[in-house]
Chains A and B, each alone.
Chain A
Amino acid sequence: MDDRRLLERLKRGDRDALRAIYEKYEETLIALAANLLDDPSLAEDVLQDVLISLVRSVHRLNLRRSLKAYLATAVANRTRDYYRRKPRQQVVSIDEARHLAAGDKGPVQMVISSEQMQRVRVAVTELSYEQREAVMLRLHADMKFREIAEVQKVSTKTALSRYRYGLDKLRSMLNGEVQDESE
């Protein structure tokens, strides 16, 4: 069912519509939130907040873009709140990352135990938040740079360069591993 019809049904209070929206975009939005947050276990909370605010505002919702982009924007906005409110977690360096004990970081992070995955994660946390946001919105939510620019309230050019410098930085941090792993 297309998004427009789902929203129409949601406006009429149809809970199945809410569930359908949830199931349709859960994977994307959770991945986005988990990669924007230092603590991926909060991703579920973010998604929950976003869905509740969708229900709350569905009556005055007038989508200019896709529902997916709308929800991704909401996730980004909400995540930024979390990020600002919480003092930033101490981020370990790449070198330390290989020694990271999986056990002391809570259950969700526990599973990110593969060293490779952990390194990517640590590298991501070393980006500036703006760069990280640009990268994740592009890669996980398939947002256009024009849309990212709108979320970040900057020009399209700035959004693109944040993305680019983000990737550059990640590459230099993860340099030498990429080829190894891709084989």
Chain B
Amino acid sequence: MNCAECQEQLVPYIEQLLDDAQAEQIAEHVKDCPSCQAELEGLQTLQGRLVSHGKAAAQSDLEEHVMNRIIREQNVRLKSAAQASAGLRLRRSIMKSPMTKVAVAALVIVAVGIGISVIGSGTPAFAQVVRSILEARTATFRVVTNAPDQPATTMEGKFMDPGLGRHVMRMGEVETIMIMDYVQGKGLVLVPSQNMAMAIELEDRPNELDPGRINVFKVLRDRIIAAQENQDESVEYLGESQIDGRDVIGYRMTEDGTDTTIWADVDSLLPLQIEYSMGEALGQPVTVTMMDIQFNVPLDLAEFKTTVPAGYQEMSMQVDASKPTETDLVEMLGLWVEITDGQFPSDLTLEAVKDLGQAIEGKLNLPAGQKPDLNDPAFKEFMQTFQKINRSLMFVRNLPAEADWHYAGAEATSGDKTTPICWYRPTDSETYRVIYADLSVLDVAPEELPQ
């Protein structure tokens, strides 16, 4: 055996993969060959070094600081690992469940009720539109939502002063009833076909309840009257027209990039139809039409009860009704990064939220589940995540144009403290708030902003 042949076989030799005869040959050669012996020792030393350094690299003496923390967290997480797996499976079934869509819709409606203008399709229009007519004790109406590439959705609505709302929505075969009591700060979502109920509790509401927010038609009527009396610049008079054979007059109000067109009865001034377009502000144009509006029809108070009917599986949800803040946005970005393994939203729109849903599904390669257990902590956690997302979208949506909002997080790598994700200028501030990819937030002078 020559040296080249020997060295060729050294690794299999060390690993004891050679048969006895071959091993014997190597051993013989190495014994008499200093060069191959050095080669063999070098290999063995390297292996030992890789093992010991490898372990050290993983453990090392930073235990005092970092590892202790990691292990602490690890232990906490481990405790819940068994639960987590059940929770993960649940999340998947939740994403496919009509209850999810319902719950999201409920959040939107809640947000509307507390006077925060909201993103998305459907109900948000309701917010502006239905700040209602002063003397209207009750109202019934139909809301039709149109968005590109999506089937129109219709919702039957009922309103009762003070601050009671009931909406019935159909998605396929599933009927969903959403009841809100803004005075009590309570809500109820029912899916009768599945016997599911979700009780909603509004937390941290502003102390003073604005009557204009409780009576959802009031603001709208005030605006009509004001516009009639002195031609407010923001309101455009559209003249007379006809809807369903009735004479109407129209006004168009433009505010924050949204158009609201109101067609009201010439004589009574009660709105008959309200068209609401959200323009391009939210990534895609959405129009909402509120029609067949009737005021002061007798309604049954029992229809607005927020207690869970007998026989329903119940879950409860706390909804943070305080004004969304930057903190909501930062927390949401943190959740997003966690769920998507380090990615940021492509944009802060409802479309991007759909991506998130897919990320959750994609991550959990599990068989589709059955009906979710509404009281499972994982379900609640999931709902809280959605709530957080909703609130941050509201925060961004509510920023005035002067805030100069920018989002640049689409390609960012999480944890990078130098990559800005988004920035805006708070009212009356000379500096901008910049949120970075490590979720730190700094005040930055305008001239130092990212290009």
Contacts and interface: CB of A to CB of B under 8 A. Distances in A.
Contacts of A22: 78
Q: Report which residue of A136, A178, A181 has the largest number of chain B beta carbons within 10 angstroms of its beta carbon.
A: A178
A160 B11 contact: yes
B93 to A, nearest CB: 14
Nearest to B56: A117
Contact of A117 (B12, B46, B53, B342): B53
Interface in A16-41: 18-19, 22, 27, 30-31, 33-35, 40-41
Mostly, the B contact residues are helix
B32 interface: no
23 contacts: A15-B79, A15-B82, A27-B58, A27-B59, A31-B54, A31-B59, A33-B58, A41-B66, A44-B70, A47-B74, A55-B84, A56-B85, A56-B366, A85-B341, A107-B65, A112-B57, A117-B57, A121-B53, A160-B15, A163-B11, A170-B46, A171-B42, A171-B43
Contacts of B43: 167, 171
Interface in A39-68: 40-41, 43-44, 47-48, 51-53, 55-56
Q: Report which residue of B49, B51, B366 has the largest number of chain A beta carbons within 10 angstroms of its beta carbon.
A: B49
Interface residues of A, number: 51
A42 to B, nearest CB: 10
A120 B48 CA distance: 12
Interface in B170-195: none
Interface residues of B, number: 38
Nearest to A135: B50
Contact of B88 (A56, A86, A124, A138): A56
Contacts of B58: 27, 30-31, 33-35, 40, 43
> Which 9 residue pairs across A and B have the least CB separation, nearest first?
A34-B58, A111-B60, A111-B62, A56-B85, A164-B11, A107-B66, A31-B58, A35-B54, A120-B53
A129 to B, nearest CB: 16
Contacts of A111: 60-62, 66
A15 B59 CA distance: 25
B406 interface: no
Contacts of A31: 54-55, 57-59
B12 A160 contact: yes
A135 B49 CA distance: 12
Interface in A150-170: 160, 163-164, 167, 170
Contact of B74 (A48, A53, A135, A139): A48
Q: Report which residue of B17, B50, B79, B342 has the largest number of chain A beta carbons within 10 angstroms of its beta carbon.
A: B50
Contact of A27 (B45, B55, B89): B55
A120 to B, nearest CB: 5
Mostly, the A contact residues are helix
A13 B85 CA distance: 12
Contacts of B449: none
A55 B81 contact: yes
A124 to B, nearest CB: 8
A174 interface: yes
Interface in B202-244: none
A9 B345 CA distance: 41
A25 B57 CA distance: 17
Nearest to A136: B54
B160 to A, nearest CB: 48
B47 interface: yes
A108 interface: yes
A173 to B, nearest CB: 10
Contacts of A164: 11-12
Contacts of B366: 56
B85 A55 contact: yes
Nearest to B415: A106
B77 interface: yes
Given A120-B53, A160-B15, 15 more contacts: A22-B78, A27-B59, A31-B58, A35-B54, A55-B84, A56-B85, A56-B366, A116-B53, A117-B57, A120-B49, A120-B57, A121-B53, A140-B54, A167-B11, A178-B46
